[in-house]
Each structure stands twice: as C-alpha cells, then as structure tokens.
Structure 1
Amino acid sequence: MKKSPCVKFHSLRVRLLVVVLSTLLVFWVVWIGCQVVTMSRHQTGQWDSMLRDIGTQIVLSMPTELGRLSTSERFSLPVNQSYKGDKISFQAWLHGKRLAFTSPGAPDTPLKPDFADGFAETTVDGERWRVYAVSDATGALQVQVGKPKTVLMADLERWSTLSLTTAVLVLLLLKASIWGVVHWSFKPVTAVQRALRTRSPLDFHPLPTERLPNEVRPLVASFNTLLSQLDTAMQTEKRFIADAAHELRTPLAALLAHAQLAAEADDPQEAKAALRRLTAGVERSARLSEQLLDLARVDVSKPGQSETVPLYETVEMVVRDFEMVAVQKKQRIVLDLEPCTVAGHVDAIGILVRNLVDNALRYTPASGRCVVSCRTEAVDGRDVVRLKVADNGPGVPVDERERIFDRFYRVPGTGERGSGIGLSLVARIAQMHGARICVGEGIDGRGFGIWLDFEPAPQAPVRPAPREPQPPLAPGRAPQAA
C-alpha cells in the first residue's frame, strides 16, 4: 500500500524544516531582488560619477597643442605585460570633426555622435554604451568617455551569482542544523516509543519523562496518568475476580454436600433437613452473588456523574423490601424520615442503604428493634444530611469497629454467617460521595449504630419542622414512615 505524500507533513521534523526553510527562502529571494535593483541603481550612479570624473580630468590634462601631438607615436608596454583595464574608453575630438586621440581599443566612430555635453546611452557597432561628454571652455576640445552596458550587467550577474550561492549554502547549513537539533531533541521520544513497543501488555509502569522536551512532557505525563488509572482498574478487576472465586468456592461446596445428603438420605426427615440446609445455602449464595455484583457496579461508577437523589424516598423504598424479612424474624423497624436530598448516584446510594438495613436485621435477634432515620442536622456550624441505622442487637466490640469495613472481614463469634462485603460496600460508596462515616452504640446504649453525613444537594428543599416519630410497630406489621 502506497503512502500518501501528505503523510510526510504529519512529522513535526518535516513541518519545522519546511516552514523555516520556506520562510528563509522567500526572505532571501525578496532581499536579493531588492539588492539587485539597488545595486543596479548604485552601479549606474557610480558609473556616471566615474565617467564624469575621468572625462573632466582628461580635459584638464590635455595641452593646448593637442593638434600637433595627435600624429606622434605612442609609448608601449614591455613585451611580458599586457593591458587588462576596466574597459573604459575615451575619445578626444577637436572642433567636433577630427579625432585627436583615443584610448586603446576604443571605437573610431564617435561614442556620442551629437557631440552634446552630458550623459547618454548610445549604440556603437551594435553594442549599448553609457557615455559622458565634456568640452573645454572654448569648445574646441570635447572628451567622450564611455563604458559598455555589458560590463555593468556582468558585474550585476557576478554579484547575484555570489549572493545566490551564499544563500544556498546558508540554507543547506541551516537545514542540517535544524534537522540535527530536532533529531537530537526527539531522541527521548523515540526511546519512549521503543520502550512501549517492547513492553508487555499488562505493564502499566509510568513512562520516563526526565529527558523529554518541555513541549512533549505534559503529553507523556497524561499518558502516565492514564496508565496509572488502567493499572488501578486492572488491579481492582484481579482482586474482584480472586475474591469472588474465593468466596463462592465454600458455599458451592456446601451446596453440593447438602444436595448429596438429600439425595442419599433414606429417612424423609433427614432429606427434609438436608433440603432446608440446601435452601439456606442457596439463599446465602444468592445474597453473596448480589453483593459481588453490587461491588462490581460500584467499582465502575464514575464520581463525576451525579444527580439529585431524594434520600428519604430511597430509604423508604429499600426498607419496604425488607418487610417480609422483619416479619419472619418478628423484628420491628422504625422509620424517622424528613425530606432531604443529596447529590450522588441513586443506584449506589440504594446499595448503601440496603446493605446497612440488611446488616442491622441480620445481626439483630428476634423481637429486636431497628431504627432508620434520615434528617438534616447542623454539625460544626454547617448543615449535613445524616443517614443513621441503629439496632439493639449484640453490637460490635470497640477494638473490632475499625476493621468491619474491610472487604471479606467478619467479626469473630457472631452467629450469623455473612460474606464480609456489605459494610465494605458501604465504605466505598460513602467515599465515592464524600460522606463521613461514623460508628457507635445502637439503641438505648446497646447494639450497634452507623451514621453517614452527606453534603446537601444544591437547591435542596427547605427542611420542614420535624415531626415526632411514630411508636415502634408491633411484630408482623409493615414499617411506617414517621
């Protein structure tokens, strides 16, 4: 496949070279043209001045007996020497009729046939001449001094050739210098390119930026930022896959064992008990799978894309989903809600609330109580939206409270078997939304409580006057919002 000629101009080296050399070439052409015009006028002025001076000196140098000297013999140069003058010719005419004497090589016909004093351009024997004529005070003698125009053009051609040759040499030297400097400056970029070509696909180490030019360094720094983000995403994927495989291995093995026991049991009661254990294992596996999916969804969430979320509506909707769980365990849920909004992801906040309520109901014993509140409060002189979930269960030891948000960590000694993902999801979502998370005692100095302080959403609705929460619901009834 042939490359298009325009592809070459995608190179910064070629672009810089073409632009600089083209600019200099245009400058040189204009400058030489101006110099040619100037030199032509200057040379003409010099010629005229020289011709006038020579003619005047010859007139002043001639004796009055010039007529008697015109027939005399002339001196000659030695044999080993020859005359190679400036090709300036002059003639001396007496009374405009008789040629008294001429310079060597001068034509025999008058250089200025009209014998008028001053400058003129004439043609002698088919050749153009620049001529100056000057007469003495009596008008008896006139000296005509001339120089062929071809000599002037030869001088201009010689000067133009020298200037163009110098310009071409300067342009070639400049081209070599620019190419060398650009090539030397882009050596670190070429080294980075070679390093990328030989790097393994999963190598996300930052590229070196020490010797790069200042114009290219920000671009490579942006690449390094992107590589760092890719590395973080890849490590998160690896960790998620490893954790998911580790956590799913045990419940799947338990499910297989319960299924085999149910299949091999001869006693219907033993088979029924095995099936109950199998059902409980399926429920735990389904819950674990749901939490792993939630974890994956949170990991790919983009913090910059947020919306106004009515937190009180989300809380009430999530609590409604846990009605049957609370009824089966004879637990009571109290909702204490006020209209309040936060900026964030509605799906992520729903995951956060669901894990908080699930964690509270899971570790609260039968006939226990759970309070879920959402209100705007003043903290340190500013308003925050506080979401709190508290229970009166066994609680969490003080020395274990810092670790409950670690992924797959479970507090030792608890009767419930959890996955250790729920509270880690809560911590991740809180960090993503810039919420402050705190833990402490639950209801009436017992149990466990978690509350999160969110920044209110811009232009949030005015907080209404709080209303007293309704009494706790009797076991078996659906929760109600205060």
Structure 2
Amino acid sequence: MKSLRVRLLVVVLSTLVVFWVFWIGCQVVQMGRHQTGQWDMMLRNIGTQIILSLPVDTERVMLNRRERFQVAEQTGYEGDKVSFQAWVGRHHLAMQSPGAPDTPLKADFADGFAEVTIGGQPWRVFAVSDVTGRVQVQVGKPKALLRADIERWTALSLSSAVLVLLLLKASIWGVVHWSFRPVTAARRALGKRSPSDLNPLPTGGLPSEVRPLVESFNALLAQLDTAMQTEKRFIADAAHELRTPLAALLAHTQLAASAENPECAKQALVKLAAGVERSARLSEQLLDLARIDASKPQQGGPLPLYETVELVVRDFEMVAAQKQHRIVLDLEPCDVQGHVDAVGVLVRNLIDNALRYTPAGGRCVVSCRSVIEGGREVARLKVADNGPGVPPHERERIFNRFYRVPGAGGRGSGIGLSLVARIAQLHQARIGVGDGLDGAGFAIWVDFELAGAPPAQPPRRHPEPSLPSGQRPALST
C-alpha cells in the first residue's frame, strides 16, 4: 500500500468505520433501553385506560355477552401487536383483543410488570386491577416485536452509514485525485524530458505538502545544471589549453627534424623538452582539478600542516636551485582538519605559482603558524614572494579557472590558483591576498580551522600587509 491516495482513503474510512460501529453499538444498547421504557409506559397506559373505560356494571355484561362487533373494513389493522385481556376474578375471561391467547397473560394475576413465556416466546406483560379487585386487565406484547423494531432501526442506521461511507469515499478520492493533478502533470512532463533538460519543474497549483519536495528536486536540478555547465566549460577550456602546447610541440619537433646543423636541432629539442614539461604539468593540474571537483566537501582527519608544507618545499628545492631562487621556511607545529592529498596539492600549487612568476635571484617565504583572526585561532599557511606581484584590480580574478594576469612574465596555465580556491572551499578555509616581501611582490595565505584544543597561551598575531584602498581584505571561499 504505497499509494498516498489509498493510504489516506483507508485511514480515513477505517477511522470512520470504527467510530460508527462503536456509535451504532451504543445506540443499539440505548435504543433497547429506551424502547423497553417506552413499551412499559405504553402497556401501563393501555391497561389503565382500558380499566378506567369500563362501566361499573360491565362485570355483568362481560360475563353474559360473548358476541363481538365487526367493522366493515380492516385494511391496515395491526392491533394484534398489543394483546389485552379483561378477567373477572381469576377464572372468567370477560374480554380479550383479537388474537390474544385464551390463557391468562399473567398467570399469577399480580399487578405490575412481568416477563412471561407464552407459546414458547417471551412476552412483556402488565396487569392492573380495579380498587375492588374484581376486574383485572392484562396487557402484553411479544418481545420479538421489540427486537424487530431494534433490528429495523439498526439496519436503517447501517444502510445510512454505508451510503455515507460510499459518498465519503467518492468525495475523498475525488479531492485527492484533483489535488494530485499538478503532481501527475509534473511527473508526465518530467517523463517526456530529454536527459539534458534540467529546467525546474513547475510548482504552480501543487499542494503545500508536496511543494517542498518538488522545490528540493528543483534545487537539485539547478545544482546538476551548474555542474554540467561547469563540466562543459572545463572540457572546452581544457581542450583549448591543450591545443596550444600540442601545436608548439609539433612545431618544435618538425623544426628539430628539419634542422641542418646540430646547434639548431639542439635548440629545437630544448624548446621541445620545455613544451613537454609544460604539457605534463598542465595535464597533471587538469587531473588534479577534475579529482578535486569530484570530491565531496567533507573534513578529513587531523593533519600536521607544517610537515606537509616541509615535504612539498623539499620537492621544489631542485627547481628553485635551477632558477636561482631561495625558499625560506618559517614553520611552527599546527594541526588542521583536512585531506592530506588535497592539502598537498594546495601547497604545491601555491609554491609553484610563486616560483614561476618570481624572476631569477628572487626570494620566496613559506610560513605556517597559528594566528588570531576575527577573534578565533586559525592555522595560517602563507606563501609570499618578491616578484612582480599582481595589480590590485586583478587580485580577485586570479582564482578563476584558466585566468592569467595580462602581461605576466610566466607561462602558467591559469589552473593552479583555481585549484587552491577549490581545495580551500572543500576545507571551509579562508583565502587572503596582499603584498609580498619588502612591500613588493605578492602574498597568498589560507586560514584553516585548527584541530584539537587551542593552546593555553594564544600566540602573537603577525601583521599582514594591508590591501590598497578600495580592495577587500580577504577573499572568502
């Protein structure tokens, strides 16, 4: 019984049936008592009326006259339902109603009510005598007639209840069917849609109980549509970004193959190796981006951030030495809640971005320490350099996917910082940007929630470079 219509119909009708059965049962009992009281009153009134209607000399007339009067037509006569007898003494039946038995209705001739058996059937009898005790009138009625009246009333009540239930069933079914017409229409419209149609379902006319569910579906459809549009843009941008280095690789390969002297071939091969390196890095970043986009935004376990930073920096020592860069570490123990792989990708892209745009002989400072930000203690990971920096009006756009600052000296893919923003969002971390070292260059910091209890003595907050006027102090992710 999964249908809401059937459930509603069964519950409502079952409740009404139980109520009506109880109510009819109570009414039958009350009706029996009421009818018995009415019967007794009726028998008393008839008996008393009969004995008060008899003349004083009726004793002689009743003893000597046995002949009865007749009426011209007895159509519809039902007087035999109540029988009465008039007795003179205990042995003379002076008068009786048509159909009444010849034997006394009340054999003990005691005044009052009694339950007797006549002809094998129970009767209700009332006897009343005159003040002299010479004449007694006995009035009785079979109890089968009482049961017949109660059964007839019960049958009528049950028939009415069944009719009302049928009408109520039809009404409930019609109202529920009418109320669910918008739901049925939405289901049919959804069934006719193509798999790529993620437009919201219509909510007009929906019952208030169903509207939140449909609105939740619409919210989910909106999220799916956003995800699909993001995926389409990602595929288009990735194809565009891969087309350029692949074309350059082909050109360098053809140049090396057609070179007439070893020096030209060597130069072409050097450019070819650089193109391969750039393509490999771009492919790695695209894979990281796809993997991060597919991950769920849930916190991992406690992670020693300073150890992860140190490991990633060690991996960049050779690259820094080749470019004559100097990396300075400023670390203190601090644990955060996070995924080690994702945080490693974040740190690697921050350092790679700093080294890529810092000229030869430049300096990069990587720090990890606890600071007080907004009245709460956080673990701040910061990478600052003394390179050309980022213009203030471009600082909010550098986290967009495939965006590169115009005129930048490096050959970046525009994916690294978008990866940083996405990973920070997954960890509910906050990104900030500002000036780099010695009032120049560029700095990016990420504030993570600390894992575990805060230290007893909060460390001193280290001042950060302020953004120029008109810029927001931090980018929330």
Match of 2:166 in 1: 172
Q: Give the C-alpha shift of residue 75 in structure 1.
A: 4.0
The answer (yes or no) to whether the contact 1:372–1:387 under 8 Å persists in 2 is yes
Match of 2:249 in 1: 255
Deviation at 1:188, TM superposition (A): 2.1
Q: Distance in 1 between matches of 2:433 and 2:459?
A: 27
Structure 2 residue aligned with 1:84: 78
**Residue identity matched to 1:361:** L
Paired residue for 1:5?
A: none
Aligned-pair CA distance for 1:282: 0.7
Structure 1 residues 355-364 or 217-226, which shifts more? 217-226
Report the alpha carbon displacement of residue 184 of structure 1 after superposing the two structures with TM: 1.9
Instruction: Give the CA deviation at 1:95.
Output: 2.0
Tell me: higher relative CO, structure 1 or 2? Use CA pairs within 8 A at least 6 residues apart: 1
- Residue 271 (structure 1) aligned with residue 269 (structure 2): no
What is the aligned partner in structure 2 of residue 95 from structure 1?
89
| Alpha-carbon separation, structure 1, partners of 2:459 and 2:3 | 69
Partner of 2:134: 140
Work out the CA distance in 2 between the residues paired with 1:124 and 1:403: 109
TM-score norm. by structure 1 comes to 0.87
Output the CA distance in 2 between the equivalents of 1:383 and 1:152: 90
Q: Which runs of 5+ in 1 are unaligned?
A: 1-8, 467-482
One-letter code aligned to 1:208: P
Alpha-carbon distance in 1 for matches of 2:290, 2:210? 36
SS of 1:202's partner is coil
Asked whether the 8 Å contact 2:298–2:426 carries over to 1, the reply is: no
For 2:285, the equivalent position in structure 1 comes to 291
Alignment of 1:61 onto 2:43: no
Cα separation, partners in 2 of 1:233 and 1:112, compared to 1, 3 Å? same
Distance 2:367 2:110 in 1: 121
CA contact (8 A) 2:370 2:459 kept: no
Contact 1:91–1:145 (Cα < 8 Å) also in 2:
yes
- Where 2:79 maps in the other structure, the secondary structure is coil
**Corresponding residue number in structure 1 for 2:106:** 112
In structure 1, what is the equivalent of residue 39 of structure 2?
Answer: 47
Q: Name the CA shift for 1:165/1:262 in 2 (closer, same or farther; >3 Å).
A: same
Which of 21, 26, 51 is the aligned partner of 1:29? 21
Structure 2 vs 1, CA of residues 95 and 310 (structure 1 numbering), >3 Å: closer, same or farther?
A: same
In structure 2, the CA distance between the partners of 1:136 and 1:256, relative to structure 1 (3 Å rule), is same
Which AA in structure 2 matches 1:205?
A: N
Aligned partner of 2:404 among 406, 410, 413:
410
| 1:236-265, Cα deviation, whole Å (9 max, x unpaired) | 222221111111111112212222333333
Q: Secondary structure at the match of 1:309?
A: strand
Q: What's the CA shift string for 1:354-388, capped at 9, x where partnerless? A: 11211221222222222222223344555443332
Q: CA RMSD in A?
A: 2.6
Q: What is the letter of the counterpart of residue 215 of structure 1?
A: E
1:393 aligns with 2:387: yes
Separation of aligned partners in 1, 2:187 and 2:39:
65
Q: Does the 8 A contact of 1:355 with 1:423 survive in 2?
A: yes
Aligned-pair identity in percent equals 74
Partner residue of 1:314 out of 301, 308, 318: 308
Contact residue 299 and residue 427 of structure 2 kept, 8 A:
no
Deviation per CA, 1:21-50: give whole Å up to 9, x if none: 122222222322332233223222222222
Q: Deviations over 1:418-461 (max 9, x none)?
A: 21111222233334444443334333333333333444334255
Task: Name which of structure 1's ranges 319-328 and 41-50 shifts more when overlaid on structure 2.
Answer: 41-50
Give the drift of 1:323.
Answer: 1.1
**Residue 439, structure 1, aligned to residue 437, structure 2:** no
Does the CA contact (< 8 Å) of 1:341 and 1:460 recur in 2?
no
Q: Report the secondary structure of 1:240's partner residue.
A: helix
Whether 2:369 is the aligned partner of 1:375: answer yes
1:14: Cα distance to partner?
Answer: 1.0
1:358, 1:446 → 2: CA distance?
18
Alpha carbons of 1:451 and 1:125: their partners in 2 closer, same or farther (altered >3 Å)?
Answer: closer
Alignment match, 1:154: 148
Aligned match for 1:334, one of 328, 332, 341: 328
1:214 and 2:208 correspond: yes
Q: What letter is aligned with 1:20?
A: V
**Cα offset, 1:147, TM superposition:** 1.6
Q: Name the SS of the counterpart of 1:387 in structure 2.
A: strand
Aligned residue identity for 1:37: V
Alpha-carbon distance, 1:309 to partner: 2.6
Could you list the per-position Cα deviations for residues 252-290 of structure 1 after superposition, in whole angstroms to 9, with x for gaps in the alignment? Answer: 122122223333334333322222221111100000011
CA pair 244-157 structure 1, distance change in 2 beyond 3 A: same
Correspondence for 2:358: 364
Query: Which amino acid is 1:141 matched to?
Result: V
CA distance in 1, matches of 2:396, 2:147: 98
Change (3 A) 1:102 1:22: same
Give the match for residue 12 of structure 1.
Answer: 4
* 2:453 corresponds to 1:459: yes
User: How big is the shift at 1:314?
Assistant: 1.5
CA offset digits 1:191-222 (Å, max 9, x no partner)? 22112212221222222334322322222232
Q: Distance in 2 between matches of 1:115 and 1:398?
A: 122
Structure 2 unaligned residues grouped into runs of 5+: 461-477
Corresponding letter in the other structure for 1:111:
L
**In structure 2, distance between residues paired with 1:135 and 1:336:** 124
User: Are the equivalent residues in 1 in contact too, given 2:116–2:124 (CA < 8 A)?
Assistant: yes
Residue 400 to residue 146, structure 1, CA distance change in 2 (3 Å): closer
Q: CA deviation at 1:319?
A: 0.7
Distance between the aligned counterparts of 1:288 and 1:462, measured in 2? 45
SS in 1 for 2:201: coil
Residue type of the alignment partner of 2:440? R
Once the two structures are superposed, the pairs formed by residues 226-241 of structure 1 within 5 Å of their partners are 226-241=220-235
Amino acid at match of 1:219: L
- Name the CA distance, whole Å, in 2 between partners of 1:463 and 1:277: 54
Post-superposition Cα deviations, 1:154-186, rounded to whole Å, max 9, x if no partner, equal: 212221121111111111111112112221222
Bigger drift between 68-77 and 95-104 goes to 68-77
Q: Distance in 1 between matches of 2:311 and 2:76?
A: 120
Q: Determine if contact 1:112/1:122 at 8 Å carries over to the other structure.
A: yes
CA separation of 1:384 and 1:114: change in aligned 2, threshold 3 A: closer
- Whether the 8 Å contact between 1:376 and 1:463 is mirrored in structure 2 is no
- Contact 1:339 1:463 (8 Å CA) reproduced: no
3-state SS, counterpart of residue 10 of structure 1 = coil
Query: Residues of 1 paired with 2:456 and 2:287: CA distance?
Result: 36
